[in-house]
Amino acid sequence: MWKTLKRLILILILANILFIVWGRFFNPPITITQIGGYLDYGKLQREYIPYDEMGENIKKAVIASEDQNFFVHQGFDFKAIERAMKFNEKSTSGKMQGGSTISQQTAKNVFLWQGRSWLRKGLEVIYTFIIERVWTKEIILERYLNSIEMGQGVFGIEAAADYYFHKPAKNLTKSEAAWIAAVLPNPKKYDPKNPTKKLNKKHKWIMQQMNHISLPPNKGK
């Protein structure tokens, strides 16, 4: 019994290591979140594209919106985590603030599932630690922008650019990229085609923050 269990655990560990190494060179064939999107909305709109074809505007927009220290930290932004914890402790409305980095969100979206369980969060920490050491920052950002949900059944920036603005991602204007980035906390709720007052406010803030974001030269794979 124990030998079988140990063997199974070893196989799972080796399979995960191979998947992570494989992920350095290829986008995931499908993710758990994408399967969930298909089951919820009866469609799976996505198109993977390489980092250099994404254009600078969307990269700056998501970094401005989600993780301004992305190219500096090693997977975790402890100041952002501390800030989120303090906000959540004081919150009386039930509204929660997240402190996850783009690296953590990539680990979750590529390897894991959605939700707030301690198991999922613990695995997310492990995967984040590993991909930060096996992948480059450009690979992490590419996987993120190709796998993240950006609308109802819409995954990845190329599909989102086509869905919202009928153009490829590389041709998105600064404003269009900011609109897409603005929906990321809750792409099932928010829609750039019909923005709420809150979404308009966030779009304006992202536009301002993008002016302070610079992208380092692509180091490749």
By C-alpha distance, which of 138, 129, 149, 124 is closest to 216? 138
pTM > 0.85: yes
In total, the chain counts a number of residues equal to 221
Q: What is the pLDDT of residues 89-130, one digit of tens each?
A: 555 555 655 678 999 999 999 999 888 888 888 999 999 999
User: Residue 199 falls within a domain, yes or no?
Assistant: yes
User: Residue 91 falls within a domain, yes or no?
Assistant: yes
User: Residue 220 falls within a domain, yes or no?
Assistant: no
Q: What burial class does residue 91 get, using C-beta atoms within 10 Å of its C-beta: 0-12 exposed, 13-18 middle, 19+ buried?
A: exposed
User: Residue 196 falls within a domain, yes or no?
Assistant: yes
Buried b / exposed e along 3-31 (16+ C-beta atoms within 10 A): eeeeeeeeeeeeeeeeebeebeeebbeeb
Domain coverage including residue 129: 20-68+75-210
Task: Flag whether pLDDT at 166 surpasses 80.
Answer: yes
Q: What is the pLDDT of residues 31-73, one digit of tens each?
A: 999 999 999 999 999 999 999 999 999 999 999 999 999 999 9
Total structural domains in the chain? Answer: 1
User: Residue 158 falls within a domain, yes or no?
Assistant: yes
User: Residue 9 falls within a domain, yes or no?
Assistant: no
User: Residue 12 falls within a domain, yes or no?
Assistant: no
Output the domain CATH number for residue 56.
1.10.3810.10
**DSSP class of residue 150?**
E
User: Residue 197 falls within a domain, yes or no?
Assistant: yes
